[in-house]
Structure 1
Amino acid sequence: MRKNNVLSDKPKGKPIIRLIKKLLIAIVLIYTVFCLGVHLFLEELILWPHKISGDVTAISKQANNVESVEITTKDGNILRGWLVKNSNTPKSNLLIYFGGNAEELSYVIPKMSKLDEWSVALINYRGYGMSEGSANETTLFSDSLEIFDYFASRSDINKSNIVVMGRSIGTGVAAYLAQNRNASAVILTSPYDSIISVVQDICPIVPADLLLKHKFDSLSRAPLIKQPVLILVGTEDTLIPPWHSKKLKDAWGGKAYYEELASENHNSIDDADIYWSRIRDFLSQQIK
């Protein structure tokens, strides 16, 4: 007698389930590798040191009003930079400037010479220019306090009239310093609410809060800062779109002056004459 064909007792859906599982595992692995690559890329991009060779004193000798400065940090690293002396008074008002992620500050000296009655401190981050060490969020913050304390202790500086200024990544440093020291006012160029927010805006699928060790959360500090602030942004800034700056302005604890400069982008903003005009006007209001 012929035996009946025996049907398999294996569910037909199992091969499909195994295929779905393999696809999910592949997607997770690809996403993990993608996130790791993004993490490494962003960590390098956030702080991008530019070194210079030679002696900082050689740069200061190019102008009569520039003094080379060395500050030894508590952990033994030497920060190097310059003091641009735009004032002849016995005790000068001071602007302390913190630059962008790739900004080596010797290039800023000619621009800062435009600020009459205000001397300007330009101290390179660790690993930038001829400063020693390696920069991260923690060292940038702690070094900013030591830079402030160094200049506030000098006999030729009016310690009651020190304004802190930051550009791009440096706005987070300036905000931290303003929260922790008695600066008289703050100037922020192209500021962000937080680096996490900026990265999330650019790439929503990246878990930036988990990937980035550099948070630079200025938004949480803003309500605690009571000094007046001038915020300048470019309408065409695509790296840090203006809405990030507006969010910071709205949260600021002191009086906030906010202006968008038409047709300027993240890199061109400090080449505009109106940019320096607005800074000079704001600084003139801070003279005591």
Structure 2
Amino acid sequence: MSLLRIIAVVSSVLAAVTILLYFLQEKLIFYPQHISRETANHITSAFKNVREITIRTQDGTRLHGWFLKNSSGKISKLLFYFGGNAEEVSYMVYELQRYKDWSAVLVNYRGYGMSEGAPAEKKLCSDTLEIYDYFLKKPDIDNPKIAVMGRSLGSGVAVYLARNRKADGVILVSPFDSLASVGKGIFPFLPIRLILRHKFDSAVLAPKINLPLLVVTASDDKVVPPSHSKKLSEKWGGKVNAIEIKGEDHNSVSLRAEYWDGIGRFLDGL
């Protein structure tokens, strides 16, 4: 086979893969997980300080989630949590019980849990502003004490919220500098930046956010290698605290006590 023939074949294959990725990118980025009505009922019956919430967005989409009232006082600090691309957030109702005085908002993305619609970057980002505004109007929320937490894909949503609304601190677990950068590491020969519709370019927003940041990474993370988290940290506009969980990967990072303890210390310091 001649050199020109080889080049033509390789070019055709790359073009075909590029087209395929363009049309299938939503299925590769978002893995919606659902929850049954029975399970939702069990959560609210098991935890007396948890109630279901439904927020109707400006375009009429209903988002479903939970509000965890984790404070004995009339006014409480508030943590907004945003999950990963294959995460249904109800399990965090149990995990966040440990942070006393910090109430929490857990709302599933569009198409996740019992939320309506289909996920997309612009929709997720606009939704998070509506969720924030909805809760900040409530009289039992302590406005000066707001924390934002995002894991993996949720780090992009959390960074967007921190840039566009008032907060006191940000917690990012396995964050990336941009989704395009992560994609380029997987497909180095493809024009990822050109075809990607959901960029989650946190590195562009980071220098403009002058807030304390806690970055939690897993040493063996192959999904979002720690190098991407480091790039984001280097661009952050405020003080950065970092925790690396040794011997864990993208999915197991939260299995260690040091993960939850580190987050707790950060929240205590806000």
TM-score scaled to structure 1, two decimals?
0.89
Partner of 2:204: 220
Partner of 1:280: 264
Q: Does 1:193 align with 2:177?
A: yes
CA-CA distance at 1:159 after TM superposition = 1.6
Partner of 2:90: 106
Partner of 2:80: 96
CA-CA distance at 1:58 after TM superposition = 4.5
Partner of 2:36: 53
Q: How many residues align?
A: 269
Q: Does 1:37 align with 2:20?
A: yes
Partner of 1:246: 230
With 169-178 and 53-62 compared, the bigger mean Cα shift is at: 53-62
Partner of 1:6: none
With 83-92 and 222-231 compared, the bigger mean Cα shift is at: 83-92
% same residue: 44
Partner of 1:141: 125
Counterparts of 2:249 and 2:3 in 1: how far apart (Å)?
46
With 38-47 and 189-198 compared, the bigger mean Cα shift is at: 38-47
Which among 236, 239, 242 is matched to residue 255 of structure 1? Answer: 239
- SS, match of residue 98 in structure 2: coil
Partner of 1:183: 167
Per-residue Cα deviation, 1:148-179 (whole angstroms, up to 9, x for no partner): 11111111111211101000000000000000
Q: CA RMSD for the aligned pairs?
A: 1.6
Counterparts of 2:42 and 2:80 in 1: how far apart (Å)?
21
Q: Which has the larger radius of gyration?
A: 1
Counterparts of 1:165 and 1:228 in 2: how far apart (Å)?
12
Structure 2 residue identity aligned to 1:80:
H
Q: Which runs of 5+ in 2 are unaligned?
A: none
Partner of 1:122: 106
TM-score scaled to structure 2, two decimals?
0.95
Q: Which runs of 5+ in 1 are unaligned?
A: 1-15
